[in-house]
Amino acid sequence: MLCLSGMVLSVVLAVAEETYSSVDRPGGGGEAFAPGLLKFEDADLIQVLNTYRELSKRTIVRSAALPNAKISLETQTPLTRIEALQALDTVLAQNGIVMIPQGTKFVKAVPKASAPLECPPIVNLPREQLPDCGTCITYYVEVKHQKPRDVVHGLQPFAMLPNSILGIDSANLIVLRDFSANVRRMLEMVERIDKPDKPDPDEKPPIKKNRKKAAKGKTGKTSQEHASNV
């Protein structure tokens, strides 16, 4: 009976264990790891993904079409757990592999070509707090002054993934689905583009009508003149 209780307790602790992702809010992730925590030299992909699993405490769902990449990376500064995951996201993305968190327990590893078909997590952090890394995210931008389709044209050069920018004029909304570092650049561009139109200096101001003329009746007299005659 005591043995059974211990087994049940260990299962409960495993279920309650906190998980982490590269899109968690800044400042999380607990302890900071010393420089050199991540050190790979032409490492096999399975070794890197095992490290990713240990850091995130999530189950990794691997695509069968992942490239046979060799990963090299060595960190030079202290990193939190979340920052370490962001570093792995970046180096994996450079090798054609995109990590996409799913809920709180899983993370999918997919080829870069398949990333646009996935559903990256929705992130609503301010631009300054978005991780400057290769983490794939979804971000909604409300356009206030310009039409989304006009703003989208200026964002295209910053996109890394195909079909990653969607403008919805009827909702004054732009949907971005790209790496977080690219989304940061696009949000900065939106701030520069989405401004009220400047008035045309050559356009003449409208002519104000004379109030007395507007108040004249059928007799051609103003209301004041009509009152004095009565």
For the chain, how many structural domains are there in total? 2
Residue 150 lies in a domain: yes
Judging by beta carbons within 10 Å of its beta carbon (0-12, 13-18, 19+), is residue 69 exposed, middle or buried?
middle
Domain-embedded: residue 67:
yes
190 and 164 in one domain? yes
User: Token pair 């790979």 is at which residue?
Assistant: 40
The model's confidence at residue 33, banded by pLDDT at 50, 70 and 90, is: confident
Query: What sign does the dihedral 81-159-184-187 (CA atoms) show?
Result: negative
Kindly state whether residues 97 and 127 are assigned to the same domain.
Answer: no
pLDDT of residue 194: 93
Please report, rounded to a whole number, the percentage of residues in the chain having pLDDT higher than 70. 77
Q: How many CB atoms lie within 10 A of CB 193?
A: 16
pLDDT tens, position by position, 211-227 = 555 555 555 555 555 44
Same domain, 107 and 28: yes
pLDDT digits (tens, 9 = 90+) for 137-182: 999 999 999 999 999 999 999 999 989 999 999 999 999 999 999 9
More confident residue, 81 or 207: 81
126 belongs to a structural domain: yes
The answer to whether 138 and 175 are in contact (CB under 8 A) is yes
Please give the residue range of the domain that contains residue 96. Answer: 20-115
Taking the model in full, what pTM does it have?
Answer: 0.77
Strand 59-62 to 106-111 pairing: parallel
Last residue of some domain: 92, 115, 138? Answer: 115
Claim to verify: residue 87 and residue 129 sit in the same structural domain: no
Report the percentage of the chain scoring pLDDT > 90.
70
45 and 104: one domain?
yes
Q: Using CA atoms, how far apart are residues 26 and 82, in angstroms rounded to an integer?
A: 8
Asked if the structure places residue 80 within a domain, the reply is yes
Q: Where are the alpha helices (DSSP H) in 38-179?
A: 45-56, 81-94, 148-155
Residue-level pLDDT at 213 = 53
How confident is the model over 116-127, as a mean pLDDT?
A: 93
Q: Find the mean pLDDT for residues 113-136.
A: 93
> pLDDT category, 28, cuts 50, 70, 90?
low
Rounded Cα distance, 21 and 83, in Å: 9
Give the domain CATH number at 138: 3.30.1370.120
Of 82, 75, 78, nearest in space to 28 by CA:
82
